[in-house]
A and B are shown apart, each in its own frame.
Chain A
């Protein structure tokens, strides 16, 4: 199986501090992967590199069948190529309605001139309503995103990710601030999404990761410490040491 994303030998440092150190990582076309690690392990920087926010000092990031390098591409081009990202803190456009937020994310031409001429078709509206239903916000389409609760904002952001229809989903702590029922719903959604695309979930919560039931990559001090099933990594000596302290 050819990989969708291949990160190899990537390093980046900020003022001498090595945030990522010779990190290599691969994920297939339809795969769910959890990335765990203690604070400062480089999880966020890792996502920043893939999405183009941070340029690494060395290494390669290759994407898709043609093995395109993502390093030369801007954030928006990478997003257009099919990388979607959900941030740790929910970032939705608070001043705009739920419908507008979803419509913004909907997979359409991002060119300013076609956006200027854009008029939502019946199909687009139907798609937005479907998504709203899926994330439990169908009654709140006309409400401003800023009025939503924290959990609802998380949902809205997940909805926006789905609307983007990315090939690779990067999700940063999706379950933070959710009720147990919501967590379950989120798990289902992610597992479902991973059937047709690659999903990378960064999470602290071991219980949540266990429920995802997927391969787990453990990051520590900017490189991969261990990789395998959840049971495999939790029994790894090094992982235990890092997580529990010596």
Chain B
């Protein structure tokens, strides 16, 4: 019964659907599909090409829908009429079918009447490539951009045609530029003639894009070939000598062995194994095993074995040399035809020079930002050391205190912009008070005993560090920058600088200005300078040197606190972060010269540039960079014991 009803229902559905089957069979798209109907139905990768091309190049507005549906396995063919539709499955047996021409619903039909077209992945890829040209002219610019991304990721020859076809009509200038550039890149890779490719290569002269270099580099790839007779021809780049840096002798010989032009070498290990295999009665080829404790003895035994034919003879050192001399080694272009390779090599070398300059500029920016960090870390030290002659070994811990202040503020204030705005003055306040307390309790009693000040402040330093460790633990704490400081200012693919670094640089400039203002334009600055130059004279003029010293020390410490917030944004907050910066800060002050803010600035620039420069020369090893920098500074002190800007005469001895 049930079966019967079902048949009936199906029959009814057919009957109901039938009138709508007056499908637009004469529509051009349908005609095209029908024309290639059998090829499409066959769905073979080998033969499908013309069908896809015909669809893609038909210029019909519906072609894109067809290709998309086809690719998504949603295209069905009516078994009876041979017409194509796309359909959604209503349930297991029924389909809701649509016409390609106007995408209008035709009706509901049982799936038995239709055959689903299931292109395999190879064909889907071909369809996808064909689709790109439609996506490239899609009205939605985002889709067009996605299509370009797809091409950039995985370019194919067919994209080139698509790009060329659509480049003209692009209305969006950004996308137009991208299309144009991509077209040239693809021409380099897939261009039909060398001239075309070379022209495209030339168009990238001096281009800094990573994509340009990535496209050009494979073109200049070479491989080493070996030949007994001289080789000529444009694809030969150069002759290389075995034993040179480009081709070590062992590699050259290995090439010969691979080409079966020379006998293989027998390694020490193989020799030993061969000897062991030939031990007879405690002897190898008549030599006692016990005597085989030297390489010379083993060579002799092996030679004796070879003479009896038990092992392969071995290539001797002199023979290797002779063999190598009988062959010529060439480097040959393998990435492209010689003309293209030469053009690429030429353009690449131009690009590389430009890249080097830009890297220098980028390095300069890096050095600048490192210098600003050192300057921030050192400026407080320069004040206490330079102005008061007090070495504050706990300065690094003041930096740490500032950074932890920022961290604690962020625990309570979750808005990062607001929290930083609160943290900066608060860090100043905290470290200012700590500085004043330290000056009152310790430093004051130790004026004019610099070595003891150094040691006492060091005691404070280790105590503060351990206290921080006990309170906050040993793991690094985050200090998150506000969102508007994320990202970088990008000049080109090589030169860029993050906004945080710019902010630190600006902060450093602000501090320089603040310092100059306080020292040169305020009463406090005047009194500080007076106390620095002649404390007793200043005292007799009614300046209280005690108070001035206290304020100066507090000011220096407060700046360390703010530097701590800045450094915390850029690096992690740990109890040891102060110690990481203190040596460089000292170097900055020492190199710059004591008692002069410009000296500190120069010192920071020098130390920062130097560190970045050495890191650039030896990028794999930042430890070595620091080592060499310190050695340089030790040598620098030889020539300018009092720093770049040194005081002379009586003032220097005060």
The yes or no answer to A145 lying at the interface (CB within 8 A) is no
Chain B residue at minimum C-beta to C-beta distance from A17: B649
**A15 CB contacts on chain B under 8 angstroms:** 647-649
The yes or no answer to B650 lying at the interface (CB within 8 A) is yes
**A138-155: contact bitstring with B at CB < 8 Å (1 yes, 0 no)?**
000000000000000000
Q: Which residues 16-38 of A sit at the B interface, judged by CB distance below 8 A?
A: 17, 19
Q: Complex: how many Å from CA A19 to CA B649?
A: 9
Q: Complex: how many Å from CA A14 to CA B651?
A: 10
Q: Complex: how many Å from CA A130 to CA B648?
A: 42
> B537 to chain A: closest CB distance in Å?
15
| Most-contacted residue by chain A among B647, B648, B649, B650 (CB, 10 A) | B649
Chain B residue at minimum C-beta to C-beta distance from A44: B650
Q: Complex: how many Å from CA A228 to CA B650?
A: 31
Chain B residue at minimum C-beta to C-beta distance from A19: B649
Chain A residue at minimum C-beta to C-beta distance from B652: A14
Chain B residue at minimum C-beta to C-beta distance from A12: B649
**B650 CB contacts on chain A under 8 angstroms:** 14
**A19 CB contacts on chain B under 8 angstroms:** 649
Q: Which residues 364-382 of B sit at the A interface, judged by CB distance below 8 A?
A: none
Q: Which residues 607-646 of B sit at the A interface, judged by CB distance below 8 A?
A: none
Q: Complex: how many Å from CA A208 to CA B650?
A: 28
**B648 CB contacts on chain A under 8 angstroms:** 14-15
**A55-91: contact bitstring with B at CB < 8 Å (1 yes, 0 no)?**
0000000000000000000000000000000000000
Chain A residue at minimum C-beta to C-beta distance from B650: A14
Q: Complex: how many Å from CA A142 to CA B650?
A: 36
**B647 CB contacts on chain A under 8 angstroms:** 15
Q: Complex: how many Å from CA A15 to CA B596?
A: 15
Q: Complex: how many Å from CA A19 to CA B650?
A: 11
**A27-54: contact bitstring with B at CB < 8 Å (1 yes, 0 no)?**
0000000000000000000000000000
Chain A residue at minimum C-beta to C-beta distance from B649: A14
Q: Complex: how many Å from CA A166 to CA B642?
A: 33
> A18 to chain B: closest CB distance in Å?
11
> A206 to chain B: closest CB distance in Å?
26
Q: Complex: how many Å from CA A216 to CA B212?
A: 85
Q: Which residues 151-207 of B sit at the A interface, judged by CB distance below 8 A?
A: none
> A155 to chain B: closest CB distance in Å?
27
> A222 to chain B: closest CB distance in Å?
13
> A48 to chain B: closest CB distance in Å?
11
Q: Complex: how many Å from CA A19 to CA B647?
A: 15
Q: Complex: how many Å from CA A191 to CA B648?
A: 37
> A72 to chain B: closest CB distance in Å?
19
**A17 CB contacts on chain B under 8 angstroms:** 649
Q: Complex: how many Å from CA A14 to CA B649?
A: 5
> B640 to chain A: closest CB distance in Å?
16
Q: Complex: how many Å from CA A14 to CA B650?
A: 8
**A14 CB contacts on chain B under 8 angstroms:** 648-650
Q: Complex: how many Å from CA A15 to CA B645?
A: 12
**A204-245: contact bitstring with B at CB < 8 Å (1 yes, 0 no)?**
000000000000000000000000000000000000000000
> A109 to chain B: closest CB distance in Å?
29
| Most-contacted residue by chain B among A14, A17, A19 (CB, 10 A) | A14
> A15 to chain B: closest CB distance in Å?
5
Q: Complex: how many Å from CA A17 to CA B649?
A: 9
**B649 CB contacts on chain A under 8 angstroms:** 14-15, 17, 19
Q: Complex: how many Å from CA A14 to CA B648?
A: 6
> A51 to chain B: closest CB distance in Å?
15
Chain A residue at minimum C-beta to C-beta distance from B647: A15
> B536 to chain A: closest CB distance in Å?
15
Q: Complex: how many Å from CA A14 to CA B647?
A: 9
**B220-247: contact bitstring with A at CB < 8 Å (1 yes, 0 no)?**
0000000000000000000000000000
Q: Complex: how many Å from CA A102 to CA B267?
A: 77
Q: Complex: how many Å from CA A169 to CA B647?
A: 30
Q: Complex: how many Å from CA A15 to CA B649?
A: 8
Chain B residue at minimum C-beta to C-beta distance from A14: B649
> B310 to chain A: closest CB distance in Å?
70
> B649 to chain A: closest CB distance in Å?
3
> B142 to chain A: closest CB distance in Å?
67
> B163 to chain A: closest CB distance in Å?
69
A-B interface, 8 closest residue pairs, ranked by CB to CB distance from nearest: A14-B649, A14-B648, A15-B648, A15-B649, A14-B650, A17-B649, A19-B649, A15-B647
Given contacts A14-B650, A15-B648, A15-B649, 5 further A-B contacts (CB under 8 A): A14-B648, A14-B649, A15-B647, A17-B649, A19-B649
Chain B interface (Cβ within 8 Å of chain A)?
647-650
Instruction: Name 8 A/B residue pairs within 8 A (Cβ), A-sorted.
Output: A14-B648, A14-B649, A14-B650, A15-B647, A15-B648, A15-B649, A17-B649, A19-B649
